[in-house]
Structure 1
Amino acid sequence: MIPDFDVIVVGAGIEGSACAYTLAKNGQKVLLLEQFPLPHSRGSSHGQSRITRYAYTQDYYTHMMLDSYPLWDTLAQETGVQLFKQCGLLNLGYENGEFLDSVSFAMGRHGMPFQSLSSEEVKRRYPMLNYPPSYAAIFDPNAGSLRADKALAAFHTMFKKYGGVLHDGEPVKVITPGQPLVTVTTTKGHYRGKKVVVATGPWSGKFLEHLGMTLPLQPFCSTAFYWRERKEGTHAPDNFPCVYDNGEGDWRSQVYGLPSDEYPGFVKMALHLGPKVDPDARDDADNKWVRDTMTRYVRDHLPGLEPSVAIAEACIFTTTPDYNPVIDCHPKHSNIIIAVGFSGHGFKLAPAVGKAVTEMVLNKPLSYNMAHFAVSRFTHTPSHL
């Protein structure tokens, strides 16, 4: 007999796991399917750290973060695991430029504290940084680092405690739309659900083609580089914040960094994105230009670090043309919900994404303006099914 569920979630990365957890917490009978044995390092949700922040140029993300922060706190309390390290975030950009103006507007609109720092104030407060006089900063004191691996495991732990069923090492072969039930066929069996949530990360472009959807999703390989401190402890969270440099506004020049914490004595600094990649051939990506770019960056702007890569860890970001995710119902099958394309900034938003998807599944009033995430903003539409 084919087992039935209220909801089947495909993909146990951070977004799918947050959705599954929130749905189970709201009384749904949920099956969470993951193609790889857990934990794994092939997708977008592994590693020890992710920046979380209120500071965004788009105030609709700031709005979502107002929910994400307390929801992360709730998950930490449920599991008894520390998931967040508060050290602040220094947003760097050209003084009086559009980036810093947009960040301060979004923060101010939602009543969030922040500090505007001149180039001289940045240098005085953080002598380990070296940026040109044309630069200024917005400091977000409530930002910091999420413990990524622990956060993902926490969602899985509580999902199962709320009655959820997790199957890892079980790739989905096909989703067969239907009313009132959708059938999901895996390498190990068949399952039926009233609703299905597709959160397949870097594999979403390929996966959604089988559901008649062609979305402009592009996976990129983003390599996190770690750089050794010349003097250990100088870049610890107590005196060095997370850093985001908007550069020229193009993703090829956007750099992020986290203090020496996950690997004591090593600071994480990386480009936001890297070369285009096939998720099934991630390690074939040529990231020499990324390594060379970051080596020059560290040499020029972080004199307290050795300008040679000590550790490199690969991850995949899946982007859309406007760098907003797709969180919407399938245009032809309303009981299939798509949550993909988080463009490298979805981890921190995951609890709010789980809340939004749960509201969609349960037909509740929506907490957020979902027009920013609609399928219809792209010209590509389902071609069959």
Structure 2
Amino acid sequence: MPALEVLVVGGGVIGAATAYALARRGRRVLLLEQFTIGHARGSSHGLSRSISSVHSRLHHMRLVAAARQAWRRLEDDSGQRLLIKTGVLDIGHADSPAIQASIAHLGAVDEEVEILGLYELRARFPQLALTDKTIAIYQPEGGILPASRCVATLVEQARRYGAKVAVGVRVSRIKPEGSGVRVDADGTVYWAQRAVIAAGSYSSVLLQHLDVAVDLSTTCEQVAFFSPRHRVLSKLGYLPVVRDYGHHPGDHLLVCYPDLGEGIKVERHGAGIPVADPYEPPPIPDPAENERIAQRLAQTMPGFANQVLYAETCRFTHTPDGDFVIDTHPEYNQILIAIPGSSCGFSVAPIVGEILSDLAMHGTTSYDIAPFRLARLHRIG
């Protein structure tokens, strides 16, 4: 193999998007994945992820708006339909900090958004339980990304443009060597001009060898799929993605997806259990959490769902301030680090891939990544 220009560690959505962006620009790229593409031990598998420009952080809203265009470019390039338009409805108490922060930023992104009052909410979405204190933000262009299919498409397109992909290869160490990088993986040594760490919950294992101590934490989150009682009102065109911030202190964000053929997908966002060792196999879904999800769903849409069909888990990777890391290593600019987190991290993957491609090729990017710089978090050992 000719000398590599960029080696990407991690075959989840961020690593796949980075390999695709680089290969499309004609770079010699190798993508290493320690399990298989689409495995269930990370954050990039499953039926669906939501995408919406409505967010309590302005820089996230701008990044998602740019990512939507990047997803469309991928659709045009691959011939695959990946953006499924459902609309996204954010609801909650009128005094909800997240809702109010999102409303404050709406004018900064040039996308159609509606603020809905109680009367219009009841008329358009009869599934919902509402109070006179409920307020809502509706983004008609929001929707769903089919997660596993998105990752598979990114990898297929990266290969089409010449990227090499190796699965079942676990990286044990990344080390700067001169102006390049040495990567040790399962007894093989790889050499590249640049390396991108996009390893999700496994990032902390690799970063500790690079004298970068970021206080990452990982949780195992659970989603449940319910059989809908109202089959028509649960389908695309009737039910948007609903994000309910609740009406009481301590309420977890409830995210509910329309039925794509496997039931209504529901999760209590951020209610997961800590993961001490990322290499531990995923736990069996907890029936008690299914019940908690069902109870919370009943508060949002009473009588809407029958029984749990099945449940599955995924991982969220958290930085101390809950924001992304997209940056070069503080001492070795040939090593790039991407920790997009697992809240809206999936939805912005193709634009993050383009940013990382810019940084790998030119050392800079036209996108404003100041909010995502490592300096706000890292401690040099």
Both proteins in one fold, TM over 0.5: yes
Preserved contact between residue 23 and residue 162 of structure 2 (Cα < 8 Å): yes
Counterparts of 1:5 and 1:151, CA distance in 2: 25
Counterparts of 1:251 and 1:162, CA distance in 2: 48
Quick check: 1:107 aligned with 2:106? yes
Partner of 1:9: 8
Deviation at 1:224, TM superposition (A): 1.3
Preserved contact between residue 49 and residue 262 of structure 1 (Cα < 8 Å): no
Partner of 1:329: 328
Q: Which amino acid in structure 1 is aligned with residue 369 of structure 2? A: M
Preserved contact between residue 285 and residue 311 of structure 2 (Cα < 8 Å): no
Structure 1 residues 361 and 249, CA gap change in structure 2 (3 angstroms): farther
State the SS of the aligned residue for 1:281.
Answer: coil
Partner of 1:382: 380
Structure 1 residues 174 and 56, CA gap change in structure 2 (3 angstroms): same
Counterparts of 2:231 and 2:213, CA distance in 1: 49
Matches within 5 A, 1:161-180: 161-180=160-179
Deviation at 1:89, TM superposition (A): 0.3
Counterparts of 1:133 and 1:282, CA distance in 2: 45
Deviation at 1:188, TM superposition (A): 4.9
Q: 2:269 aligns with which of 253, 264, 272?
A: 272
Preserved contact between residue 222 and residue 285 of structure 2 (Cα < 8 Å): no
Q: Which amino acid in structure 2 is aligned with residue 105 of structure 1? A: A
Counterparts of 1:293 and 1:133, CA distance in 2: 25
Q: Which amino acid in structure 2 is aligned with residue 268 of structure 1? A: K
Q: Which amino acid in structure 2 is aligned with residue 275 of structure 1? A: I
Structure 1 residues 268 and 74, CA gap change in structure 2 (3 angstroms): same
Partner of 1:88: 87
CA RMSD of aligned residues (A): 2.0
Quick check: 1:199 aligned with 2:211? no
Deviation at 1:105, TM superposition (A): 2.9
Matches within 5 A, 1:3-152: 4-152=3-151
Deviation at 1:323, TM superposition (A): 1.2
Counterparts of 1:188 and 1:48, CA distance in 2: 35
Preserved contact between residue 299 and residue 307 of structure 1 (Cα < 8 Å): no
Q: Which amino acid in structure 2 is aligned with residue 344 of structure 1? A: S
Counterparts of 2:375 and 2:286, CA distance in 1: 34
Partner of 1:320: 319
Preserved contact between residue 11 and residue 198 of structure 1 (Cα < 8 Å): yes
Deviation at 1:163, TM superposition (A): 0.8
Structure 1 residues 233 and 248, CA gap change in structure 2 (3 angstroms): closer
Deviations 1:151-188 (A, max 9, x none): 10110011011110100111112112122221111115
Deviation at 1:369, TM superposition (A): 2.2
Counterparts of 1:229 and 1:59, CA distance in 2: 35
Q: Which amino acid in structure 1 is aligned with residue 266 of structure 2? A: M
Counterparts of 1:230 and 1:43, CA distance in 2: 31
Preserved contact between residue 330 and residue 337 of structure 1 (Cα < 8 Å): yes
Deviation at 1:99, TM superposition (A): 2.3
Deviation at 1:23, TM superposition (A): 1.1
Counterparts of 2:186 and 2:278, CA distance in 1: 20
State the SS of the aligned residue for 2:39.
Answer: coil
Preserved contact between residue 228 and residue 306 of structure 2 (Cα < 8 Å): no
**Deviation larger for 212-221 or 278-287:** 278-287
Preserved contact between residue 89 and residue 138 of structure 2 (Cα < 8 Å): yes
Matches within 5 A, 1:288-307: 290-306=289-305
Count of aligned pairs: 379
How high is the sequence identity, in percent, across the aligned residues? 29
Preserved contact between residue 295 and residue 307 of structure 1 (Cα < 8 Å): no
State the SS of the aligned residue for 2:231.
Answer: coil
Q: Which amino acid in structure 2 is aligned with residue 37 of structure 1? A: T
Structure 1 residues 107 and 241, CA gap change in structure 2 (3 angstroms): same
Q: Which amino acid in structure 1 is aligned with residue 14 of structure 2? A: E
Preserved contact between residue 87 and residue 240 of structure 2 (Cα < 8 Å): yes
Preserved contact between residue 244 and residue 300 of structure 2 (Cα < 8 Å): no
Preserved contact between residue 3 and residue 192 of structure 1 (Cα < 8 Å): no
Deviation at 1:249, TM superposition (A): 9.5
Q: Which amino acid in structure 1 is aligned with residue 185 of structure 2? A: T
State the SS of the aligned residue for 2:279.
Answer: helix
Q: Which amino acid in structure 2 is aligned with residue 290 of structure 1? A: E
Structure 1 residues 320 and 109, CA gap change in structure 2 (3 angstroms): same
Deviation at 1:78, TM superposition (A): 1.7
State the SS of the aligned residue for 1:81.
Answer: coil
State the SS of the aligned residue for 2:291.
Answer: helix
